[in-house]
Structure 1
Amino acid sequence: MVQNQERRIALVDAAIEVLARDGARGLTFRAVDAEAGVPKGTASNYFANRDDLLNQVGAHIHHRLTLDPAGVESAQLPPSPELLTELMRALYHHISRDRTGWLALLELRLEATRRPELQAALTKTLRDNLNMNVEGHRASGIPGDDMTTVLLYYAMTGLILEHLTVPEVLADFDENDLIATFVNRSLAT
């Protein structure tokens, strides 16, 4: 297998574009090569098989979608419900800017229902992500317990899903107000 890491990442990013646009059935080495603008056969030199490509896509999507709290302007606020609200808003807007990454993740989740190995890898990645969020919340000093984090994790997942797939469902709501409500109600538990 070829080890040029920059090219590998470019191919994985191209695979994310193909997955989001064409679904799992459209994800072929040839389609990835075309999306990346590289010669035919390049992707097959970097990935052992389609399962290898899917697994690497699953790992890389989470790097693309992860918000670095240090880059959030309001991260300078003291630990408070207001800081938590601003972090959730920043996450929402960060993911909204990478619609392709989120849609590819949805496609990957669907494909995982048919591929046990992919399901195991994706389950581990998602569980690790949730646990990282729980640990990060604990360490932050922000009010709320572990259940606060879990409730917000799934509330935000649902909000992002609606926003990026059928945004008109939310036409009568302000997403920033919804996020503030999610935070306030999850802290009330």
Structure 2
Amino acid sequence: MRQNPERRAALVDAAVEVLAREGARGLTFRAVDTEAAVPNGTASNYFTSRDDLLNQVGRHIHVRLTPDPAEVSATLESPPSPEVVVEFMHALLGRLLKDRSGYLALMELRLEATRRPELRQELTGTIASNLDENIRFHLDSGLPGDSMTVVLLYLAMSGLVVEQLTLPEVLNQFPVDDVIAALVGRTLPPAQ
């Protein structure tokens, strides 16, 4: 297998774009090569199988969707409050809308994981680890709420992101800023 890390990353990014546009059935080595504008056969030199490619895409998507540490630090300059949580939820939605392909590819991987046990195991580990990290971050930052608060926000924001990326007109009558404010306000425990 080839070891050029930059080329591998470019191929994985190309696979994300193919997944988002064509779905899992359209993800072939040839489609990845075409998307990455490399010679045919390049992807097959970097990935042992389609399953290997899917697993690497699953790990890489979370890297693409990770927030900028400087933005996180800037948000944390304010004292922990429900308003800071709202700010984080807006940043999350903005990041996922900006990398629409990344999140759509993740949704495709989730669907494909229902048919591929190895991918399911890999994706479950990655997403569970991500959720654990979000819980740790929330609690360590002193933000209001507990572990269950983070789980509820995670589940609600996942639904909001799906709507915004797939059928945004469904929520036309509900401004997204109001939805996020209500979501956080109704999820956080009452102030003591």
Q: Which position in structure 1 is the counterpart of 2:70?
A: 70
> CA–CA distance in 1 between the matches of 2:181 and 2:88?
10
Asked if the contact 1:74–1:86 (Cα under 8 Å) also holds between the matched residues in 2, the reply is yes
Aligned-partner residue type, residue 40 of structure 1:
N
Asked if the contact 2:17–2:105 (Cα under 8 Å) also holds between the matched residues in 1, the reply is yes
Aligned-partner residue type, residue 67 of structure 1:
P
* Structure 1 residue 71, shift from structure 2 partner: 1.4
Q: Which position in structure 2 is the counterpart of 1:182?
A: 183
Q: Which position in structure 2 is the counterpart of 1:152?
A: 153
Q: Percent identity?
A: 64
Let me know the Cα RMSD of the aligned residues: 1.1
Q: Which position in structure 2 is the counterpart of 1:170?
A: 171
Q: Which position in structure 2 is the counterpart of 1:126?
A: 127
SS in 2 for 1:76: coil
Asked if the contact 1:85–1:180 (Cα under 8 Å) also holds between the matched residues in 2, the reply is yes
Structure 2: 5+ residue stretches without partners: none
Q: Which position in structure 2 is the counterpart of 1:47?
A: 47
Structure 1: 5+ residue stretches without partners: none
> CA–CA distance in 2 between the matches of 1:113 and 1:76?
41
Kindly report structure 1 stretches of 4+ aligned residues shifted beyond 6 Å. none
Asked if the contact 2:144–2:189 (Cα under 8 Å) also holds between the matched residues in 1, the reply is no
> CA–CA distance in 1 between the matches of 2:170 and 2:119?
31
* Structure 1 residue 67, shift from structure 2 partner: 1.7
Worse overlay, 36-45 or 175-184: 175-184
SS in 1 for 2:76: helix
Asked if the contact 1:18–1:27 (Cα under 8 Å) also holds between the matched residues in 2, the reply is yes
Deviation by residue 1:67-100 (Cα, 9 ceiling, x = unmatched): 2353155332111111111011111111111111
Aligned-partner residue type, residue 153 of structure 2:
L
Aligned-partner residue type, residue 169 of structure 1:
V
TM-score by length of 1: 0.97
Deviation by residue 1:126-162 (Cα, 9 ceiling, x = unmatched): 1111111111111001111111100100110000000
Asked if the contact 2:54–2:119 (Cα under 8 Å) also holds between the matched residues in 1, the reply is yes
> CA–CA distance in 2 between the matches of 1:176 and 1:70?
23
> CA–CA distance in 1 between the matches of 2:154 and 2:97?
15
Q: Which position in structure 2 is the counterpart of 1:96?
A: 97
Asked if the contact 2:138–2:150 (Cα under 8 Å) also holds between the matched residues in 1, the reply is yes
> CA–CA distance in 1 between the matches of 2:173 and 2:69?
29
Asked if the contact 1:75–1:87 (Cα under 8 Å) also holds between the matched residues in 2, the reply is no
> CA–CA distance in 2 between the matches of 1:76 and 1:181?
23
Asked if the contact 1:30–1:41 (Cα under 8 Å) also holds between the matched residues in 2, the reply is yes
> CA–CA distance in 1 between the matches of 2:163 and 2:110?
16
Aligned-partner residue type, residue 49 of structure 2:
N
